[in-house]
Every structure is written in structure tokens, then in C-alpha cells.
């Protein structure tokens, strides 16, 4: 079995919501012509996505060829690299031809990022570029694989990075990737389209509701016929109002919050814009996110009580210093980098602790004890304490709290990256 | 004379073959010293060598049986501690030491490797490591081949160390997805009997974390893949339809127990792990082949070919896989001698199969069984054994003198709950429920099962689980470690305990025997209890200890 059978097959279309948006944009999804005029931001983003999709299609196509000729696979890797890097990349080899255009995905992203201001989509594209570069490194390995299995491993890893770079329309954070910024930010607004205030209701259709760089909704004229969304993506729904079909984006709740809490439009700096959705920036963007304050999710008293529970119920396997003995580490550098890499949210960890721990006696502690232990774990991972206790009941908002290294300095942090005193 | 002809010519010509090959390896591998590791013929003849213990279960046959006869039922009361070495890495000790030419190689929970003087316990070299742990910190040992020590690690690396110095020779990530895949089993060296490239056989641990099981033959010179075999049939392959819908994509079936090989026919016998998600079986309709099965693979060609499979538990709902390395032996069933293969599973079953066909010869329940037909529910229900009960990975032995299989088993029950949905989260268990809550008491047995009838010849009941496998000696003894920390010697004929020693830490590792300078030793590792911890365990140290025993 080839490893990428595990992944969903690469498609040029994302989930249905994105298709709906893409439908509106159909006219603009043409390969950029080889002309001198610079591309609009929207077109550059589409071209970058198109290059990433072409690279994915190239390597998936080689896999499906079942060819026994190594050259087929080497050539596909090179063509994918060319599509990602463009003619100016160090790994570019003209002879193989490119699955994409001359600028390459990185060329397009660099052109978008090459500006003074830092729009809300900049950290997402930054992260997409980092993932594309990681994919290129594995594809470069794949060009020299000795046998199919090694090729498969290298390409499978490249594919994993490319899928993150492609992202999905339901995610407005760093994992949203190119599809995420197209679905949720001004980059998704086609050239010449009607732009309206994202905080207000639409008054005409088609139009695009934008606020603080985010795209909150797309208004579609309502008419007879079927308006079908095969698959709902994240929090999206279809609202029919005033003879229009309203498609709120994944960014709509964030925009609504900003509309309500701020009289004026906030500057679109990435740290402020994403702080409500993600606790930590991906490694590539920690510099710009260092001043972001993660939310305070527990009280100091809870963490102190949790330390006692941990010592008696958890430390035997997870270690007195939280670095693990028989079981994994639960705080510090190893834990937080794994959490970030695997995309763990506070919801995942909360569920696991409440329902599956301790290993040989799951769900055997009181909900107060479990809440205290989670407070202790957050403190040990250098998250700040506050006035509001960690809840004993589930909080749906935890699904949006992505775990990772907390930016900023943490006095007392030990060599394992653990904050022993919270 | 070709190597194949020389091997066929018999034992007399084996020594020159070994020497010739050694010289070749010395030239080929530069610094590697071939005499520091076993030769192809050493591996083929491992079962009959009383001195060295060079494969995890003594030989390719999976039979923890030693021809060493110095320690006997008559003199075993004189057995005493020869040496005890404490290793500087805390965690459960699940290691099968490898002993060759006076050097013992042991590993600890976080993939540290130690080369010890087998006569004194003195550390010759130490390799330390600090891998990310996905779920369980454990390592079951090394492979010794071509001048190198090989270890598969908890972060998915295959690492080659110089056997003389412990210096790293190469290091490669060989799992496909480091988020959910790791290694705990010992890489198994295998040279095709006809000559040719030797390989390291290694199964990945990924089943309970949303991966699909795979056993791979690696080239020991660089870690490249020679072949691999996946336990979950993909689209177009036979038995793919035993998985409903897309459930085969995250299906489990790890092959992380041992590798048993009939070297005469080049047939590999492997146990395949449980299907996933473990506790919410409604999302994977069907029998879920080849999970919870033994498979026989023809490994004589470029790719393994499935000869037969025998599924013990179709559509498992409780993580009741057969983790024990199969024992391949010629035993008497009724009045006829047959080639048999025996194993056990975590549901508390002992299975005896015909080695040529996979047909069931006999089945014996060795643990208390209850509630096995009811899947875990959202509100929870009871079943026995729990995931740490029944027959575990440490294995057993076949004693030709009594025509009996010696095998420990556990009585543990659990309260199980399933989740509403199965959600894959990278790097976390993909079990859709919780591992069972212990409901006690937790006890164990040592069993002698008559191969001829499938009936117990004797059973010894312990107050605590008895994970330590079974080592049978040609002199009529069975050694096994009890979880509480006591190493015991039984009389194979009667089941009477003749000798005991408290090692001071919890025993989960199998016992082995070896000789240095003509002197026989018994060795067992002990350490933390890890996930085998139960409320009734006595207090003991958490240190990682290797204890050896000898006469005089």
C-alpha cells in the first residue's frame, strides 16, 4: 500500500463552501498569462494555490502510474519542485519542465509578502511558504531515492507539508494555508468585485463583506434552483435573507467579535488578529507573535491543588518533573513542540485527561480534581494564570485553543522548558 | 563450492564458511569486526548453542528453551546472585538481552543501549538517547549483525552502533509517520539460508495510534528497504472486503511481537495486532483481516507471499490481540508427531495450529473469560481479561521431554467504555474509548499445557500477575519472573517452585540462560511497573536492574 492512500486524494476543489466561493470567481481562475503586468493579490494567491495543486497532482499522478521506471518518479519530483519554487529557485531544473508557472508558488507568495504592512493573511502565507520549503526538501530527497519505498516515504512527507500549505477554507489560523486565506481574507475577493462592510448586512449581491482584512461573508443572489452544499465546512451555514443567500466564512465569528468590541477597526497586525484564535504562532512567525498574550484559563490556586493531584495520581508514569518515565512528557519543550506539530488543541488534551486518565483507572477522579490537574499542566507549560478558574465542564471554545510554545520570556523555566512554578 | 553447497554439506564444513564470510565482512565494512557479531551459521544453529543467546527468543523458532544443563532440579537451590547492574534510565524493563561471546547487550525504556561484560556485569560502553515518547516508553532489545548493534527507537529511527565501541555508524528515520509510529521490538537479523543479502526484520508500532501495521526487511548496511509487508489488505487485494467502507485506512494490525521463522522452508510466522479504533468496532464492519491473526509468509522471494492465515478473534472489540511470539516445534498430538505452531492472545486463549496449513489443532482457555461477546458501550461494561490480561508478549517454551508448552497467563478484569465517535488526532491513541479501568483482583498463573490433549499438566497460581514468560531448560527446569519482582524456578515435571529470588524491582521481561567461560548463568531484567501497575503491587524500587544468577 502506498502511503498517500491514507490521505485524501488531491483535488483542485476544496470543500463545498470553497466551491461556492470559487464559483463566483470562476472567471478569474485562469492560468496567469505570461504578461508583464503584475498580478493582483487575488490572482497571485490563486496562482500560488494552483502551483501547489499542480505539484500535488504531479506526484500523485506518478504514484498512480504504477510505473516501474524510476525516471518517471524522479521527473515527477523535479516537476513538482519546479512548480513550487519557480525558475529562480536553487533546486529548479529546466529540463524537467514545470507542473506550474514560471513564478512558482514561492514566487507568488514572496510577491504578496513583499510589502511594508503586515496584513492578517501574512502569517498564514508565511507558514504556507515554510511548509512548501519543507516539502521541497523532501522532494529533493525523493529525486535520489534508491528504491520505490524510499521514494514513497520522502514523497509522502512532502505531501503532508503540501496539504498543510494548501490548507482548508474552514481554518482561519496558520493551518488555513492558501485555501484558508482565499476563503477568509481579502485575498479571496476577486478583482473588481463589490466590497461591503463585513460588520453590516449585505445590501446587494454579489458582494463581499470585509472587515479588518477578513472576509466575513459572501452574498449570492438568490434565484430559483438548487443551492446545495454537499459538505459543511467548519461553522459555515447558508443564511437566506432579503432575497439573498448569505455564506458566512470561518472568520465570521472573529469579525463579529471585533465588530462588537471595538469602535474602530483594529490595525491588522497578525499578533492581535490571531491571538483570539490561536494561543501560539507557528515557529516561523514567533518573532511577530512574541508579544501576543495567551488567554488566562485557570487560577493559581487551582494549579497548586492540581500539583498535589498530579503527584499522587500521575507522577508515577509521567514523572515528578513531567518529563515522563513509562509514559510521555506532559509539559515543556518536547510536549509543546509535539502538540504544535500534531495540531493538538486544549479540547483534545482536556478530553484525554478527563476520560482516559489515569491509564489504569480512567474517569476515576472528580471533575474538580481533573480541572485542577489541567490547571497545573497549563501552568507547567508556562500558560498564565488569571481570575477565571478552569471549568469542570467542557467548553466548546477549547477546540480553538491550539497548544504550542507560549511566546515571551518565562522566568524560572527549566532546561526542559517546564515552568515549575507556573 | 558455493555458500549454499557448503551449508547443505552440514556442520563439518560450517566453520570454514563462517571464517570465509568473516574475512569478507572485515574487508567490506572497514572498521566493523565480524567476530564481534554472530555469523549466518550461528543464527541457523542458535537453538543448539548453550553459550550464546543471539535472538530475542533464543532461536528463530520462538522457543525459550536452552540446551544448557548445569543448573538442574537437584542443584537449583544453590543458585545465587552472580551480579546485579543498575542502569541509569528509569522505566519498565521489557528487554530480551542478547549475549554473544561474553558480551551482553541490554536496552532500557528510553532506548539506551548497554554492552555489559556477561561474566561481571561491568559496563563496556553505553549509548544514551532521549526520544519523544508517543505513549509507552519501552524497548525489547537489539539485533546483532555484521559488526553492529541495531536498535529501533521510540521516535521511529533505526540506529546502527558499532558492537565493539557503541559509536554510531548510521541513523535513519525509517517510519513513515513519526506522529503515530515508533519501534519497541528488537530488530531480528536474518540471512537467507542460500546465502545472499542479510536483512533486519522490524515491525512498526503504530496500530493503536491510527496507523496500519507493517513489517519491513531493512538492509543492515544503510537502513534502506529490501521489502515490506502490510497486514491490512488494500483495495484490490484478497480480503480487503473484510473492512467496511474506508475503515481499512486507519486499521491497526501492528506486528510488534517477535518473528518466528522456519529456516528450512523460509516461512515466517507472525502475529498481527488488534484492529482500530479498538473499542468502537461499529465503524469497522467485517472480520477486519488480518488483525488478531497469525499469518504464515513465504519469504524466499523478493516480496513476502501469504501462505495462510488463521484469525483468532474476528472483529475484535477489546484490544485482544496475540502479542506473543509464536513457538514453532515438532510435538506429539495423540500418537502422531506434527510440526506445530503455538501462541496465546490477550483474551486468555492458548492456540495450537498445524504449522503447514494453519488449521486449528487445539484451543485452551488459560485465563478467566467473561463478557467477551458484548462490545464496550458508552456507559461502560465489564469484560475479562482486560488489555493487560491473558497471554502477553513475553512468550513461552516447548519442552520436548514432557511434550508440554510452558506459558504464563493473567487473570485481570476491566470496566470498558467506548466513545460516541472515532476521531483521529495525530500522536494520540486512536481507540475511541478508554483503556479498561482495573476492577481487580489481578493475578497470574504459570501453566504447563499438554500438547497431546490441550489439557493442563499443572498450573501454579500467583497472587500477582506473572508476565515473565517461560524459559525451559533441557535439565528439567522452568524459569519465570513474577510482576512483584521475584524470579522463580519450577520443576517442569511437577510445577513445584524449587527456588526464588526477589530482584527488588518489577519483572515484565523474559528470562534467558547463557554461558561464559563454561559457566551457566540465568539473566532477567526488572524495573518500573509502567502501565502494568496495579493497586496490589508491593513497594519496590523504580530502578532499572539486570540480575544474573549462577551456581557456586
ipTM entry: 0.86
Q: Chain B residue with minimal CA distance to A6?
A: B249
- HEC-encoded secondary structure of B399-416: ECCCCEEEEEEEECCEEE
- B31-550 CATH pick, 3.30.70.20, 2.140.10.10, 1.25.60.10, 3.40.50.1820: 2.140.10.10
pLDDT band at residue A292 using 50, 70 and 90 as cut-offs: low
pLDDT, one tens digit per residue, over A353-372 is 999 999 989 999 999 999 99
Rounded CA separation B386/B367 (Å): 11
At B142, is the secondary structure helix, strand, or coil?
Answer: coil
Contact across the interface for A362 and B437, Cβ inside 8 Å: yes
Together in a domain, A87 and A212: no
Rounded CA separation B321/B275 (Å): 8
To the nearest whole Å, the CA of A308 is away from the closest chain B CA by 19
**Kind and range of the H or E element at B145?**
strand B143-145
**Kind and range of the H or E element at A42?**
helix A41-65
pLDDT band at residue A260 using 50, 70 and 90 as cut-offs: low
Give chain B positions within 8 Å (CB) of A334.
132
Min mean pLDDT across A361-370, A399-408, B273-282 is at A399-408
**Residue ranges of chain B whose CB lies within 8 Å of a chain A CB:** 90-92, 109, 132-138, 176-177, 179, 212, 224-225, 228, 230, 232, 234, 249-250, 417, 419, 425-429, 434-435, 437-438, 528-531, 533-534, 542
pLDDT, one tens digit per residue, over B485-503 is 999 999 999 999 999 999 9
To the nearest whole Å, the CA of A165 is away from the closest chain B CA by 17
Contact across the interface for A326 and B224, Cβ inside 8 Å: no
Q: Tell me which residue in B109, B425, B528 faces A344 most closely, judged by beta carbons.
A: B425
Contact across the interface for A356 and B434, Cβ inside 8 Å: yes
Rounded CA separation A386/A402 (Å): 18
Together in a domain, A166 and A80: yes
DSSP tag of B243: S
pLDDT band at residue A170 using 50, 70 and 90 as cut-offs: confident
Classify residue A409: in a domain, yes or no: no
pLDDT(B13) > 50: no
CB contacts < 8 Å between A and B, how many? 103
B-interface mutation test, from A161, A317, A326, A340, most B Cβ less than 10 A away: A326
Rounded CA separation A8/A14 (Å): 11
- Per cent of chain B over pLDDT 90 is 89
Nearest to B103 by CA among B171, B165, B183: B165
pLDDT band at residue A230 using 50, 70 and 90 as cut-offs: very low
Q: Tell me which residue in B134, B138, B417 faces A328 most closely, judged by beta carbons.
A: B134
Contact across the interface for A338 and B427, Cβ inside 8 Å: yes
* Listed ranges A266-275, A356-365, B212-221; the one with the highest mean pLDDT: B212-221
Query: Domain count of chain A?
Result: 3
Q: Tell me which residue in A1, A156, A328 faces B133 most closely, judged by beta carbons.
A: A328
To the nearest whole Å, the CA of A355 is away from the closest chain B CA by 7
User: Quick check: A5 contacting B, CB < 8 Å?
Assistant: yes
Average pLDDT score, chain B: 92
pLDDT(A4) > 70: no
Nearest to B143 by CA among B62, B218, B84, B85: B218
- Per cent of chain A over pLDDT 90 is 42
To the nearest whole Å, the CA of B419 is away from the closest chain A CA by 9
Q: Tell me which residue in A6, A338, A364 faces B249 most closely, judged by beta carbons.
A: A6
pLDDT, one tens digit per residue, over A103-150 is 999 999 999 988 888 888 998 999 999 999 999 999 999 998 888 888
Q: Chain A residue with minimal CA distance to B543?
A: A325
pLDDT, one tens digit per residue, over B152-205 is 999 999 999 999 999 999 999 999 999 999 999 999 999 998 888 899 999 999
pLDDT band at residue A237 using 50, 70 and 90 as cut-offs: low
To the nearest whole Å, the CA of A40 is away from the closest chain B CA by 37
Of A171, A187, A203, the one marking the end of a domain is: A187
Q: Tell me which residue in A156, A326, A356 faces B109 most closely, judged by beta carbons.
A: A326
Contact across the interface for B137 and A325, Cβ inside 8 Å: yes
pLDDT, one tens digit per residue, over B71-106 is 999 999 999 999 999 999 999 999 999 999 999 999
Mark which residues 378-397 of A lie under 8 Å from B by CB.
none
Together in a domain, A182 and A197: no
Q: How high is the pLDDT of residue A376?
A: 97
Contact across the interface for B225 and A149, Cβ inside 8 Å: yes
Q: Chain B residue with minimal CA distance to A327?
A: B136
pLDDT(A271) > 60: no
Q: Tell me which residue in A150, A356, A364 faces B435 most closely, judged by beta carbons.
A: A356
Q: Chain B residue with minimal CA distance to A335?
A: B132
CA B425 to chain centre: 28
What is the residue range of A125's domain?
3-187
| Higher pLDDT, residue B349 or A200 | B349
Rounded CA separation B91/B509 (Å): 12
Together in a domain, A336 and A386: yes
pLDDT(B1) > 70: no
Classify residue A124: in a domain, yes or no: yes
Together in a domain, A252 and A380: no
Together in a domain, A23 and A150: yes
pLDDT, one tens digit per residue, over B192-211 is 988 888 999 999 999 999 99
Nearest to B244 by CA among B290, B309, B288: B288
Average pLDDT value for residue range A205-230? 74
Together in a domain, A381 and A360: yes
Strands B103-107 and B98-100: antiparallel
Of A261, A292, A309, the one marking the end of a domain is: A261
Average pLDDT value for residue range B421-434? 93
Q: How high is the pLDDT of residue A224?
A: 59
Phi, psi of B384 (to 5 degrees): -135, 145
| Higher pLDDT, residue A28 or A123 | A123
Together in a domain, A197 and A157: no
Contact across the interface for B250 and A364, Cβ inside 8 Å: no
At B455, is the secondary structure helix, strand, or coil?
Answer: coil
Average pLDDT value for residue range A205-214? 87
- From its phi and psi, is residue A357 left (phi > 0), alpha (psi between -120 and 50) or beta? beta
Q: How high is the pLDDT of residue B539?
A: 84
Together in a domain, A233 and A304: no
pLDDT(A85) > 80: yes
Together in a domain, A91 and A132: yes
Classify residue A21: in a domain, yes or no: yes
Mark which residues 98-117 of A lie under 8 Å from B by CB.
none
pLDDT band at residue A269 using 50, 70 and 90 as cut-offs: very low
Domain ranges of chain B: 31-550
Min mean pLDDT across A149-153, A184-188, A379-383 is at A149-153
Contact across the interface for A146 and B134, Cβ inside 8 Å: no
Torsion B204-B210-B212-B218 (CA) sign: negative
pLDDT band at residue B240 using 50, 70 and 90 as cut-offs: very high
To the nearest whole Å, the CA of A130 is away from the closest chain B CA by 19
Amino acid at each position: 500500500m502506498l502511503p498517500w492512500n491514507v490521505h485524501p486524494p488531491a483535488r483542485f476543489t476544496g470543500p463545498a463552501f470553497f466551491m461556492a466561493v470559487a464559483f463566483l470567481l470562476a472567471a478569474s481562475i485562469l492560468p496567469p498569462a505570461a504578461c508583464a503586468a503584475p498580478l493582483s493579490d487575488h490572482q497571485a494567491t490563486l496562482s500560488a494555490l494552483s502551483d501547489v495543486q499542480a505539484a500535488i497532482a504531479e506526484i500523485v499522478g506518478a504514484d498512480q502510474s504504477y510505473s516501474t521506471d524510476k525516471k518517471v518518479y524522479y521527473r515527477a519530483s523535479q516537476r513538482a519542485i519546479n512548480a513550487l519554487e519557480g525558475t529562480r529557485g536553487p533546486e529548479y531544473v529546466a529540463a524537467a519542465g514545470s507542473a506550474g508557472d514560471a513564478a512558482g508558488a514561492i514566487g507568488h507568495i514572496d510577491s504578496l509578502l513583499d510589502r511594508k504592512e503586515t496584513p492578517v493573511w501574512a502569517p498564514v502565507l508565511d507558514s504556507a511558504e515554510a511548509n512548501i520549503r519543507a516539502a521541497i526538501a523532501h522532494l529533493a530527497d525523493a529525486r535520489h531515492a534508491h528504491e520505490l519505498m524510499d521514494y514513497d516515504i520522502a514523497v509522502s512527507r512532502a505531501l503532508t507539508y503540501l496539504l498543510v500549505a494548501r490548507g482548508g477554507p474552514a481554518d482561519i489560523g496558520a493551518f488555513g494555508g492558501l485555501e484558508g486565506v482565499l476563503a477568509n481574507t481579502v485575498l479571496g475577493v476577486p478583482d473588481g468585485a463589490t466590497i461591503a462592510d463585513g460588520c453590516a448586512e449585505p445590501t446587494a449581491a454579489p458582494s463581499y463583506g470585509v472587515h479588518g482584512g477578513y472576509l466575513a461573508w459572501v452574498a449570492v443572489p438568490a434565484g430559483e434552483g438548487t443551492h446545495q452544499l454537499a459538505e459543511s465546512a467548519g461553522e459555515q451555514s447558508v443564511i437566506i435573507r432579503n432575497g439573498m443567500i448569505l455564506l458566512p466564512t470561518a472568520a465570521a465569528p472573529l469579525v463579529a467579535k471585533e465588530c462588537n468590541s471595538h469602535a474602530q477597526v483594529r490595525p491588522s497586525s497578525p499578533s492581535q488578529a490571531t491571538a483570539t484564535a490561536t494561543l501560539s504562532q507557528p515557529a516561523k512567525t514567533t518573532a511577530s507573535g512574541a508579544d501576543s498574550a495567551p488567554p488566562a484559563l485557570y487560577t493559581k490556586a487551582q494549579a497548586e491543588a492540581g500539583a498535589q493531584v498530579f503527584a499522587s495520581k500521575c507522577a508515577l508514569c509521567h514523572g515528578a518533573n513531567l518529563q515522563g518515565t513509562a509514559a510521555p512528557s506532559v509539559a515543556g519543550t518536547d510536549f509543546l513542540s509535539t502538540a504544535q506539530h500534531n495540531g493538538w488543541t486544549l479540547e483534545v488534551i482536556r478530553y484525554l485527561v478527563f476520560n482516559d486518565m489515569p491509564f489504569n483507572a480512567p474517569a476515576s477522579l472528580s471533575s474538580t480534581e481533573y480541572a485542577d490537574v489541567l490547571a497545573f499542566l497549563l501552568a507547567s507549560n508556562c500558560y498564565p494564570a488569571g481570575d477565571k478558574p478552569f471549568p469542570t465542564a467542557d467548553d466548546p471554545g477549547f477546540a480553538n485553543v491550539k497548544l504550542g510554545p507560549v511566546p515571551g520570556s518565562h522566568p524560572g523555566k527549566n532546561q526542559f522548558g517546564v515552568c515549575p512554578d507556573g | 563450492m558455493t555458500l549454499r553447497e557448503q551449508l547443505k554439506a552440514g556442520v563439518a564444513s560450517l566453520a570454514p564458511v563462517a571464517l570465509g564470510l568473516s574475512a569478507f565482512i572485515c574487508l567490506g565494512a572497514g572498521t566493523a569486526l565480524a567476530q564481534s557479531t554472530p555469523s549466518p551459521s550461528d543464527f541457523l544453529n542458535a537453538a543448539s548453542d548453550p553459550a550464546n543467546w543471539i535472538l530475542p527468543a533464543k532461536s528463530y523458532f520462538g522457543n525459550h528453551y536452552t540446551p544448557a544443563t548445569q543448573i538442574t532440579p537437584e542443584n537449583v537451590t544453590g543458585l545465587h546472585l552472580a551480579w546485579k547492574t543498575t542502569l541509569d534510565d528509569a522505566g519498565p524493563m521489557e528487554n530480551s538481552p542478547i549475549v554473544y561471546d561474553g558480551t551482553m547487550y541490554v536496552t532500557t525504556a528510553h532506548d539506551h543501549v548497554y554492552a555489559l561484560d556477561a561474566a561481571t556485569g561491568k559496563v563496556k560502553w553505553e549509548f544514551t538517547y532521549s526520544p519523544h515518547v508517543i505513549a509507552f516508553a519501552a524497548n525489547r532489545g537489539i539485533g546483532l549483525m555484521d559488526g553492529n548493534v541495531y536498535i529501533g527507537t521510540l521516535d521511529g529511527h533505526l540506529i546502527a552502533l558499532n558492537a565493539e565501541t557503541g559509536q554510531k555508524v548510521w541513523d535513519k528515520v525509517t517510519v513513515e509517520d513519526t506522529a503515530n509510529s515508533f519501534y519497541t521490538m528488537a530488530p531480528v537479523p536474518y540471512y537467507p539460508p542460500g546465502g545472499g543479502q542479510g536483512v533486519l526484520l522490524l515491525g512498526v508500532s503504530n496500530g493503536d495510534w491510527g496507523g496500519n501495521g507493517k513489517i519491513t526487511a531493512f538492509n543492515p548496511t544503510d537502513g534502506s528497504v529490501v521489502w515490506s509487508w502490510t497486514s491490512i489488505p488494500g483495495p484490490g487485494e484478497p480480503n480487503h472486503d473484510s473492512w467496511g467502507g474506508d475503515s481499512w485506512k486507519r486499521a491497526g494490525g501492528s506486528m510488534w511481537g517477535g518473528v518466528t521463522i522456519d529456516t528450512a522452508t523460509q516461512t515466517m510466522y507472525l502475529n498481527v495486532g488488534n484492529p482500530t479504533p479498538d473499542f468502537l468496532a461499529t465503524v469497522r464492519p467485517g472480520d477486519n483481516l488480518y488483525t488478531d491473526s497469525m499469518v504464515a509468509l513465504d519469504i524466499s522471494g523478493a516480496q513476502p507471499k501469504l501462505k495462510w492465515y488463521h484469525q483468532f478473534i474476528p472483529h475484535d472489540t477489546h484490544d485482544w490481540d496475540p502479542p506473543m511470539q509464536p513457538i514453532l516445534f515438532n510435538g506429539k498430538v495423540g500418537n502422531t508427531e506434527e510440526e506445530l505452531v503455538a501462541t496465546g492472545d490477550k483474551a486468555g486463549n492458548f492456540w495450537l495450529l498445524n504449522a503447514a496449513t494453519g488449521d486449528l489443532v487445539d484451543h485452551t482457555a488459560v485465563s478467566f473469560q467473561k463478557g467477551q461477546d458484548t462490545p464496550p458501550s458508552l456507559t461502560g461494561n465489564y469484560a475479562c481479561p482486560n488489555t493487560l490480561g491473558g497471554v502477553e508478549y513475553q512468550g513461552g517454551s516447548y519442552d520436548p521431554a514432557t511434550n508440554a508448552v510452558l506459558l504464563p497467563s493473567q487473570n485481570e478484569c476491566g470496566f470498558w467504555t467506548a466513545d460516541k465517535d472515532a476521531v483521529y488526532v495525530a500522536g494520540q491513541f486512536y481507540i475511541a474509548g478508554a483503556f479498561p479501568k482495573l476492577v481487580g483482583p489481578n493475578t497470574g498463573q504459570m501453566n504447563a499445557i499438554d500438547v497431546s490433549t490441550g489439557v493442563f499438566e499443572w498450573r501454579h497460581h500467583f497472587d500477582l500477575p506473572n508476565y515473565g514468560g517461560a524459559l525451559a531448560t533441557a535439565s528439567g527446569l522452568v524459569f519465570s519472573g513474577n510482576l512483584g519482582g521475584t524470579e522463580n524456578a519450577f520443576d517442569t515435571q511437577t510445577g513445584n517452585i524449587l527456588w526464588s529470588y526477589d530482584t527488588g524491582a518489577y519483572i515484565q521481561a523474559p528470562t534467558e540462560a547463557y554461558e561464559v567461560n563454561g559457566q551457566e548463568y540465568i539473566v532477567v531484567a526488572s524495573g518500573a511497573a509502567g502501565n502494568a501497575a496495579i493497586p496490589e503491587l508491593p513497594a519496590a524500587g523504580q530502578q532499572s536492574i539486570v540480575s544474573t544468577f549462577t551456581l557456586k
